[in-house]
Structure 1
Amino acid sequence: MSNRANSGEGGEESAILIPLQEARRERQTMPVCFDRRELDQILKVYGRMVAANEWRDYAIDHLADRAVFSVFRRTSETPLYQIVKDPKLARKQGAFSVVAMGGLILKRGHELARVLGVFDNKLKLVRQA
């Protein structure tokens, strides 16, 4: 038996072929997620707002078409704000947006840091009549 067959040089074991359609299908079935850098930026803002006693709880949803970081004043309420990552909008309006409780988009853009800048100003919740 030759060492060449065991080492994988020129052997069939050295290459694994994956059909392109299969790779695309697998990528499409995976949910959209925030990456580590994005979560770090979001959690810095969250920590600052918790320290200011504005926010108390959060939830992260990784859906098929978007990822959502929801912020709550109390656990049992609807979210005050949602930080949304929607890759389908990346080339148009920007993949990131901050949405207020009533569905109003406060800021949208291509860079998460700029979108999160909406929380730099003191935001107050205004109830709609």
Structure 2
Amino acid sequence: KLGHHPTPGLWMVGATIRLLERSGPGVLHGDLAACDRYADAVARAEAVAAPTLLLLGAEDLMTRPKAAEPLAAALPDARIEILPGTGHLPMIERPDEVVDAVVGFAREVAVPTRGASI
């Protein structure tokens, strides 16, 4: 039971439709096309130089958290964080926790510069 609804993800239909309505022409197509080309992501991950946070939903039925392990292993500096009770859309299901995780990670990996703050 995700999102306090007996059918996982169903409670988010309205929010998802609204996001799609607000998206520009071609955004959904571009997103789905990128997903379709995802096959070589693990091979390409080795070239990523920046620290990387993989933020996953523990209850994601589309992309199980275990599926991120090869990607994390290929990234030179990766951290996996799994949000409990969260499915495939953590930014909608748990927006506060997502912001906290991203800001916390950014603070950890930030290179200090004079006058800058996160």
Q: TM class by shorter-chain length?
A: under 0.3
* Larger radius of gyration between Structure 1 and Structure 2: 1
Instruction: Return the TM-score normalized by structure 2.
Output: 0.24
Higher RCO (Cα < 8 Å, 6 or more apart): 2
Instruction: Return the TM-score normalized by structure 1.
Output: 0.23
Higher helix share: 2
Higher strand share: 1
